[in-house]
Amino acid sequence: MFMEYDPAVYSRILTGLTLGFHIIFATIGVGIPLMIALAEWMGIRKNDPHYRLLARRWARGFVVTVAVGVVTGTAIGLQLSLLWPNFMQLAGQTISLPLFMEVFAFFFEAIFLGIYLYTWDRFKSRMKHFLLIIPVVIGASFSAFFITTVNSFMNAPQGFELVNGVITDIDPIAAMFNPATPTKTAHVIITCYLTSAFVLGMIGAFKILKGDRHVYHKKALHLTMMSAFVFSIATVVIGDLSGKYLAEYQPEKLAAAEWHFETEEEAPLVLGGYLENDGEIKYAMEIPYALSILAHGTPGAEVIGLDQFPDEDTPPLIVHYFFDGMVFIGMYLAFVSMIYLLLSWKKQQLMHSKVLLWSIVAGGPLSILAIELGWVFAEIGRQPWILYGIMRTPEGATTSDHVDAMLYLFIGLYAILGLSCSIVLKKMFNNNPAAHELEQRGVEDRGERT
Amino acid sequence: MSYEIIGISVLWFFLYGYLIVASVDFGAGFFHFYNKVSHKNYQVNKLIQRYLSPVWEVTNVFLVFFFVGIIGFFPDTAYYYGTALLVPGSISIVLIAIRGSYYAFNTYGSKDSKIYSFLYGMSGLLIPASFTIVLTISEGSYLDISNGNVTLMLGELLTSGYSWSVVFLAIVSVLFISASFLTYYAYKAGDAASYWLFRRYTLFWSIPTILASVLIFFAIRHHNPEHFSSMLDISWMFILSLLFFLAAMFFIYKKRHLGTAFILVMLQFFSAWFGYGASHLPYLLYPHLTIYDGFVNETMAIALIMAFFAGLLLLIPSLYLLMRLFLFDADYIQGNK
Ligand code: HDD
Ligand code: HEM
Ligand code: HEM
């Protein structure tokens, strides 16, 4: 290779690769059960077979993504120990409790998902079947909660004392509920819901664009966009709170994201732009006072800049783009779903216009992109620390000689898995269009003992 | 009982759970593929699918539980095994990934594909084989621990008779456990053709299974005499295991009490597994790491044990529901639901 072999560097790339791949499926895995539950609930309440079919078809696609989520999650679980043995040795002493509880949440979710999928027509009462998805929703959201507390701990470690390299005074609960936990878990979980709503909305919008004007797709679109609007507002609000968390506990991360070099009051927010070699910001848009508001809620507040930190303790400045990209997409998603709702309320003839539908389709991949950008920002923004203020990233890494070979192995694996997964999903929905399935089941529905 | 013993017993128990459910699962995947290419009996494959589909994800969680738990209870294992196992561990991950995802693609996707079936059938057999490396390493003398660095002596491992006999045992046990379960399941489903087929498989694979077990017993004597002598101290557990095995084979041969026969197979592995585990103590990694010096701090240990029991209270009723709906519901098994 063109760079000198350093196991820590390769470990970072491989971890980023696995997490970046897992997070796509994990996000969908947390959010889609909620959307399935909403659809099935609507189906029962309105006695509308369209919604029930919606739940059924979403669930069918969902199992395929779950499978990839499960195997890549298993990969991360093992890889954390393989690539970061020293970090995990320390983490095992302090933060293994939520990691352990996460597995129980998965367990719970996996059991009920198995039951849910195979009992569609088994109970006389539809309500009974609906109730089975509830543990799946709870299990998925709790597993996201628990795993994110681990990541919060890496950003704001507490609940132990480190005296001469020996850990004492351990308090697992304090470690779990650290200052980063509230905003981080809330932001992660709500963005899972938002992303899932947009990904499913994308499918509906796309079908309508392709000329399939069946009311089934319109209902799908309506349900997903209504939910997406609620989630996107919550995302922006909680995102703002995350900014306030950073200003207080990890000011250098926020300062790097904002290219905020000097501590000052009435700080402006820098959008986009380009950094000259001498530290001059070019072509950026500045919004006066906005950074002070993001950080502390008042336009006059003082925001700590990078001048307060030694160079070796600050993250790379590239995180600015990741942060901006995420925020931009957040605004976009809120805007698109709001327009849809306004039109469906006031001007129904425009609500299926091409422009709007294409904007919704774009929202699917964009929301996933926002998830990736957000995580890369959060992780690279924590550098040079693996455990903020306690352990630097290279200290946590393995010393093995073969991390590079493993990196190539996993690149191959994920390429193949990603490809197969998309082929399978595509075939599944193309070979069996909704209208066709409705017809089949319509016959079946009449025959059912209701 | 000390916290150390509780911790390791809980983990060992979950690994045992994985051993059983995963063997059934992996073996079924292999038979599915084998029967498909040899055009033997398509009825069997339907039966296998019906059993597997609702439970495969649960199987995987047993494994995740183990490796998350071991980091929690014994954080030092992350340091020793984590560093040494990068390459074999990564290979296991790749196998697990292939197995899980192609299983799902084949089952839930729109058509049954021979390639997918091959991928998950074969990877399922290789997974247990690749995991045995951990057990082999734990016997000592395959790790080089010097000046703060842990490296795996791959050459030594690959040329050792002991390590290959463990691999062999793992593969044949998978096929044996799986076949004995499916015999019972086919019988319950009233599927005579499958029942005869699996009964034949069970009888066939029982022979290499028991031979390999005996072989390993003596291979350990050569490889790690200290472990062997503590195995002799609790030799009753291994004798018990053998008796369970003989009883199970008797029932299957006589075509009687097939459910009991499968339970006896489970007991056979239970006593051997815990006999092996108990005699291995106190070492997690011979002779470098014991359960006492690698143990987590007491506060965390108590928290983990409490979380574990709270978790069980949640899981046992759910698992019961799953089994009642799919494994022990005669109508479901027979395909009427
Ligand atoms: C659909 C995805 C998505 C969208 C639209 C947004 N975010 Fe976000 N954001 C995430 C997905 C995400 C994430 C992937 O979930 C992160 C990564 C780590 C984390 O805690 O959540 C994240 C992290 C994250 C952080 C860093 C927290 C930390 O490092 O501890 C901040 C300050 C924000 N976000 C702020 C916002 C703001 C002000 C948004 C306004 C529009 C926004 N995010 C939209
Ligand atoms: C699931 C969402 C997550 C994603 C997408 C993600 C992404 C990333 C990325 C891109 C890197 C590379 C950073 C760099 O090279 O500078 C990284 C590093 C890392 N992440 Fe995360 N991360 C996630 C959550 C977590 C969680 C919950 C943990 C802990 C349990 C974790 C542990 C690590 C570790 C140990 C590293 C290596 C050290 C480092 O570079 O900071 N990550 N992750
Ligand atoms: C370093 C971080 C992470 C680790 C160690 C991890 C670990 C795992 C493991 C071991 C599994 C497989 C469990 C099983 O066998 O059922 C898994 C799957 C899953 N993970 Fe991750 N995970 C991480 C990040 C995340 C994040 C950040 C989320 C959510 C926001 C998440 C959500 C899920 C979900 C929902 C599943 C179940 C599969 C599905 O429903 O799609 N994971 N994860």
Tell me A327's DSSP state. H
Q: In chain B, how many domains are there?
A: 1
The pLDDT of residue A147 is: 92
Q: What is the mean pLDDT of residues A131-143?
A: 90
Q: Which atom number of ligand 2 is nearest to the Cα of residue A11?
A: 37
The pLDDT of residue A442 is: 60
Q: Cβ–Cβ of B97/A88 closer than 8 Å?
A: no
pLDDT band at A449 (very low <50, low <70, confident <90, very high): very low
Residues with CB under 6 Å of ligand 3 are A 19, 22-23, 25-27, 29-30, 66, 69-70, 73-74, 76-77, 80, 106, 110, 140, 143-144, 147-148, 188, 192; B 57, 60-61, 64
Residue A142 has pLDDT above 90, yes or no: yes
Can you tell me the distance from the alpha carbon of B41 to that of B192, in angstroms, rounded to the nearest whole number? Answer: 11
Q: Cβ–Cβ of B83/A400 closer than 8 Å?
A: yes
Can you tell me the distance from the alpha carbon of A299 to that of A285, in angstroms, rounded to the nearest whole number? Answer: 18
Long-range CB contact pairs, B132-137, < 8 A, 24+: B132/B163, B132/B166, B132/B167, B132/B169, B132/B170, B133/B85, B133/B88, B133/B157, B133/B163, B134/B81, B134/B85, B135/B166, B136/B160, B136/B162, B136/B163, B136/B166, B137/B81, B137/B84, B137/B85, B137/B285
Listed in order, strand segments (DSSP E) in A254-345 are: 264-265, 269-271, 274-275, 281-282, 285-287, 302-303
Q: Which atom number of ligand 2 is nearest to the Cα of residue A13?
A: 15
Q: What is the mean pLDDT of residues A354-361?
A: 88
The pLDDT of residue A443 is: 39
The answer to whether B53 faces chain A, any CB pair under 8 Å, is yes
DSSP string, B220-265: HHHH-HHHHHHHHHTHHHHHHHHHHHHHHHHHHHTT--HHHHHHHH
DSSP string, A192-216: HHHHHHHHHHHHHHHHHHTT---HH
Q: What is the mean pLDDT of chain B?
A: 79
The reply to whether ligand 2 has any atom less than 6 angstroms from the CB of A378 is: no
Can you tell me the distance from the alpha carbon of B24 to that of B327, in angstroms, rounded to the nearest whole number? Answer: 13
Taking the alpha carbons of B222, B227, B231, B233 in that order, is the dihedral positive or negative? positive
Distance of CA B250 to the CA centre of its chain: 24
Q: Cβ–Cβ of B67/A81 closer than 8 Å?
A: yes
Q: What is the ipTM of this complex?
A: 0.79
pLDDT tens string B41-73: 556 667 677 666 666 777 888 888 888 888 888
Q: Kindly report the backbone phi and psi dihedral angles of residue B132, in degrees, each rounded to the nearest multiple of 5, phi listed first.
A: -60, -20
Interface test with chain A among B50, B105, B131, B313, by most A beta carbons within 10 Å = B105
The pLDDT of residue B42 is: 59
Write the residue with the smallest CA distance to atom 35 of ligand 1.
A239
Range of the domain at B297: 3-333
Residue B111 has pLDDT above 80, yes or no: no
Residue A415 has pLDDT above 50, yes or no: yes
Q: Cβ–Cβ of A77/B68 closer than 8 Å?
A: yes
Ligand 3 mutation target, pool A143, A187, A188, most atoms within 8 A of CB: A143
Cross-chain CB nearest to B69 (options A66, A72, A100): A100
- Which comes out higher in pLDDT, residue A269 or A350? A269
Cross-chain CB nearest to A97 (options B98, B108, B307): B307
Most confident of A196-200, B146-150, B265-269: A196-200
**Ligand lying nearest the CA atom of residue A257:** 1
On whether the CB atoms of residues B125 and B132 are closer than 8 A, the answer is no
Residue B337 has pLDDT above 60, yes or no: no
Q: Cβ–Cβ of B68/A400 closer than 8 Å?
A: no
Can you tell me the distance from the alpha carbon of B299 to that of B211, in angstroms, rounded to the nearest whole number? Answer: 45
Residue A190 has pLDDT above 90, yes or no: yes
On whether the CB atoms of residues A398 and A83 are closer than 8 A, the answer is yes
Q: What is the mean pLDDT of residues A118-132?
A: 78
Range of the domain at A37: 21-247+318-440
Residue B245 exposed, middle or buried by CB count within 10 Å (0-12, 13-18, 19+)? buried
Q: What is the mean pLDDT of residues B225-245?
A: 80
Residue B24 has pLDDT above 80, yes or no: yes
**What residues of chain B lie within 8 A of the CB of A112, using their CB?**
318
Tell me A442's DSSP state. H
Of the candidate ranges A129-133, B231-235, B238-242, B323-327, the one whose mean pLDDT is the lowest: B323-327
Look at residue A105 and tell me if it is in a domain.
yes
Residue B96's nearest CA partner among B124, B58, B68, B71 is: B124
Of the candidate ranges A91-95, A333-337, B82-86, the one whose mean pLDDT is the lowest: B82-86
pLDDT tens string A416-444: 888 888 888 888 777 777 667 776 666 34
**Interval between CA A26 and ligand 1 midpoint (Å):** 16
Tell me B295's DSSP state. P
Q: What's at B277, amino acid-wise?
A: G
- Tell me the β-bridge partners of A385: A392
Distance of CA A176 to the CA centre of its chain: 20
Residue of chain B whose alpha carbon sits nearest to that of A416: B98
Q: Cβ–Cβ of A107/B311 closer than 8 Å?
A: yes
Q: In chain A, how many domains are there?
A: 1
Can you tell me the distance from the alpha carbon of A237 to that of A378, in angstroms, rounded to the nearest whole number? Answer: 18
Instruction: Give, in order, the Cα–Cα distances in Å from A172 to each of A100, A169, B299.
Output: 12, 10, 8
**Interval between CA A156 and ligand 2 midpoint (Å):** 14
**What residues of chain B lie within 8 A of the CB of A62, using their CB?**
none
3-state secondary structure of B21: helix
The pLDDT of residue A197 is: 94
**What residues of chain A lie within 8 A of the CB of B76, using their CB?**
89
Tell me B50's DSSP state. H
The pLDDT of residue A446 is: 38
The reply to whether ligand 1 has any atom less than 6 angstroms from the CB of A138 is: no
Can you tell me the distance from the alpha carbon of B201 to that of B179, in angstroms, rounded to the nearest whole number? Answer: 6
Look at residue A5 and tell me if it is in a domain.
no
Ligand 1 mutation target, pool A27, A191, A244, most atoms within 8 A of CB: A191
Sequence-distant (6+) residues with CB within 8 A of B18 are: B59, B62, B63, B66
Q: Kindly report the backbone phi and psi dihedral angles of residue A90, in degrees, each rounded to the nearest multiple of 5, phi listed first.
A: -75, -40
DSSP string, B159-179: T-HHHHHHHHHHHHHHHHHHH
Residue of chain A whose alpha carbon sits nearest to that of B336: A122
pLDDT band at A373 (very low <50, low <70, confident <90, very high): very high
pLDDT band at B232 (very low <50, low <70, confident <90, very high): confident
Write the residue with the smallest CA distance to atom 24 of ligand 2.
A151
Look at residue A271 and tell me if it is in a domain.
no
pLDDT band at B30 (very low <50, low <70, confident <90, very high): confident
Can you tell me the distance from the alpha carbon of A221 to that of A60, in angstroms, rounded to the nearest whole number? Answer: 18
Q: What is the mean pLDDT of chain A?
A: 83
Q: Cβ–Cβ of B86/A75 closer than 8 Å?
A: no
Residue of chain B whose alpha carbon sits nearest to that of A118: B54
What b-and-e string marks burial along A11-33, b requiring 16 or more CB atoms within 10 Å of the CB? bbebbebbbbbbbbbbbbbbbbb
The pLDDT of residue B52 is: 65
**Interval between CA A15 and ligand 2 midpoint (Å):** 6
Residue A314 exposed, middle or buried by CB count within 10 Å (0-12, 13-18, 19+)? middle
pLDDT tens string B182-196: 888 878 777 777 788
The answer to whether B304 faces chain A, any CB pair under 8 Å, is yes
Residue B336 has pLDDT above 70, yes or no: no
The reply to whether ligand 2 has any atom less than 6 angstroms from the CB of A12 is: yes
Residue A167 has pLDDT above 70, yes or no: yes
Residue B103's nearest CA partner among B123, B130, B127 is: B123
Residue B310 has pLDDT above 90, yes or no: no
Cross-chain CB nearest to A74 (options B60, B151, B321): B60
Q: B310 vs chain A: nearest CA distance in angstroms?
A: 10
Query: How many other CB atoms are found less than 10 A from the CB of residue A137?
Result: 20
On whether the CB atoms of residues A69 and A22 are closer than 8 A, the answer is yes
Beta-carbon contacts below 8 Å between A and B: 219
